[in-house]
Amino acid sequence: MCYIFLLNFCLFLMASTLHAQGLLDALSTGKTRVIDLTYPLNSKNAFWPGESYNSFKHEVLASLEKDGVYSGRYSTPEHLGTHMDAPAHFEPNQPTVDKIPLEDLVGLAVVIDVSLKASASGGDPDYRLKVEDITEWEKRHGTIPQRAIVLLYTGWGRRWADYGRYKNADENGALHFPGFSRESALFLSDTRQVKALGIDTLSVDYGLSGDFPVHHIFNSRGRWLLENLANLDKLPPTGATLIVAPIKIEGGSGGQARVWALIRE
Amino acid sequence: MCYIFLLNFCLFLMASTLHAQGLLDALSTGKTRVIDLTYPLNSKNAFWPGESYNSFKHEVLASLEKDGVYSGRYSTPEHLGTHMDAPAHFEPNQPTVDKIPLEDLVGLAVVIDVSLKASASGGDPDYRLKVEDITEWEKRHGTIPQRAIVLLYTGWGRRWADYGRYKNADENGALHFPGFSRESALFLSDTRQVKALGIDTLSVDYGLSGDFPVHHIFNSRGRWLLENLANLDKLPPTGATLIVAPIKIEGGSGGQARVWALIRE
């Protein structure tokens, strides 16, 4: 009897061992599923519509037909397409994009869905995440863990193919798209102590913002932000691990980032 | 007696379970050490000295002092600094840099050190990796596993700060730096079936190459390459896992890549 119990216990532990195979190791066996949260870079990518900002430009330098090798060059604002805002973007004496170590670029993703309130028919394009939205989410999924990366799924990605509809400027040039609120950013940064935010719009601050409180709150605490994320509709509310790989521009305020979500199958 | 045996077996399995904590999970506990194999991008970065290629240029668009926000733009050839050559670089009908999934971008690193032969005092700057160098390495460290990423440490990184010394052109413009040989590339790709190569010079083909056999061998098999890798001197011969994150340029022949080595402590 006791033998059987111990044998079963051993089998349980063996199963645990197999389950504990790392997310990276399990890539080769298909037990880790990957969702790429990065839009491909092309001339239609959305960018922050500031003065002297411009679209992504790619130019062919050599082609297989003419030169036997295919090679190109490109130019882009740092804050175009799927990208990171480094802590130095809005705050002095904070790390630039090249100074963030991998230890800080990997974390558990929490996805809060406000798409019905923000982008569905009858939704409010100026919607800002409320603290109550977060506490509602926590009732269903548990307290947001410290050092999580909180992603806001607004549904705005459905407009990605059309930069005009994506930035959604009115006749006075004011932008209309959803974002985090100041209060939600303070709650997430200081009460929940999350390490970073991400969103599927042009900015973690909503389009009408003039003072960018969400950027200041996170950047002043040495924390980074992700904007124009793809495929947030494909993520579970919890359980994904993000790998965030920003381009290593020396002294850069941010830059294009490759962002993957890894999910244990 | 049998109880004690089973108990010990259980404890062994528990220990295995703990050890099997994934490399990513162990980042937060410091049990995974990270070495960044990426040079920061700046105007001094080495690039392939082809016609109309140019150095990395960064321009400030807005500053904290003047504008309350720090932001920039940059322009660069795809094949500058630490970067990937996608399979489409040298071969038709092969994937461009945006089409390579994470499953193919993570792998075990094997590091072969030819620095004494290639870059030490009295070494040969035109040195090419021999098949015998590989079999010598295997006598000490075991057979190179299938789907490994083979990195050639030539010691050329000591010249990185000086683009002139790094590309090492003679009076006729011929480049002199070490690389893989055609035979070693065939052995690694077809006999050992590795997934990718990387090097700490401008090119996996040595400087004098005119026909780039190493590029053709790997690219024609749908495999990618890494060039201008940093910190190869800090890697163990085996045991590191690489994460390779190339910038997702739609249709790009390659591009700047963030490359990390993760090592279990």
The pLDDT tens digits for B157-200 are 999 999 999 999 999 999 999 999 999 999 999 999 999 999 99
What global pTM score does this model have?
0.93
User: Which ipTM was obtained for this model?
Assistant: 0.93
Does the beta-carbon distance from B247 to A241 stay under 8 Å?
no
Q: Closest residue of A to B254, CA-based?
A: A71
Tell me whether strands A254-264 and A83-85 are parallel, antiparallel or unpaired. antiparallel
Using the Cβ of B49 and the Cβ atoms of chain A, whether some distance falls under 8 Å is answered with no
Tell me the torsion sign for CA atoms B226, B231, B232, B237: negative
What's the confidence (pLDDT) of residue B50? 84
Does the beta-carbon distance from A34 to B101 stay under 8 Å?
yes
Does the beta-carbon distance from B248 to A3 stay under 8 Å?
no
Q: pLDDT digit string (tens) for B77-109?
A: 999 999 999 999 999 999 999 999 999 999 999
Q: pLDDT digit string (tens) for B111-145?
A: 999 999 999 899 999 999 999 999 999 999 999 99
**What are the structure tokens assigned to A228, written together?**
């124009």
What's the confidence (pLDDT) of residue B86? 98
CB contact at 8 A, B40 and A40: no
Using the Cβ of B23 and the Cβ atoms of chain A, whether some distance falls under 8 Å is answered with yes
Q: What is the DSSP string of A16-85?
A: HHHHTS-TTGGGTTT-EEEEE--PPB-TT--B---TT----EEEEEE-HHHHSS-EEEEEEESSBSSEEE
| DSSP H/E element including A7 | helix A2-19
How far does Cα A115 stand from its chain's mean position?
A: 16
Q: Closest residue of A to B42, CA-based?
A: A250
Beta strands, E only, A93-186: 106-113, 128-129, 149-153, 179-180
CB contact at 8 A, B194 and B188: yes
Residues of A in contact with B38 (CB under 8 A): 248
Does the beta-carbon distance from B92 to A256 stay under 8 Å?
no
Shortest CB distance from A245 goes to which of B34, B245, B249?
B245
Residue B265, exposed/middle/buried by CB under 10 A (0-12, 13-18, 19+)?
A: exposed
How close, in Å, is residue A13 to chain B by CA atoms? 6
Interface of A with B in 106-135 (CB under 8 A): 106
Residues of A in contact with B252 (CB under 8 A): 41, 58, 72, 74
Place of tokens 């022949």: B253
Place of tokens 């494909």: A234
How close, in Å, is residue A190 to chain B by CA atoms? 20
Does the beta-carbon distance from A34 to B102 stay under 8 Å?
yes
Q: pLDDT digit string (tens) for A150-163?
A: 999 999 999 999 99
pLDDT classification of B4: cutoffs 50, 70, 90 = low
Q: pLDDT digit string (tens) for A176-188?
A: 999 999 999 999 9
The structural domains of chain B, ordered by start, are 34-41+77-264 (3.50.30.50)
What distance in Å separates the CA atoms of residue B106 and residue B147, rounded to the nearest whole number?
Answer: 10
Q: pLDDT digit string (tens) for A68-101?
A: 999 999 999 999 999 999 999 999 999 999 999 9
What distance in Å separates the CA atoms of residue B66 and residue B15, rounded to the nearest whole number?
Answer: 57
What's the confidence (pLDDT) of residue A265? 87
Mean pLDDT rounded to a whole number for chain B: 94
Residues of B in contact with A204 (CB under 8 A): none
What distance in Å separates the CA atoms of residue A198 and residue A204, rounded to the nearest whole number?
Answer: 7
CB contact at 8 A, A50 and B62: yes
Using the Cβ of A167 and the Cβ atoms of chain B, whether some distance falls under 8 Å is answered with no
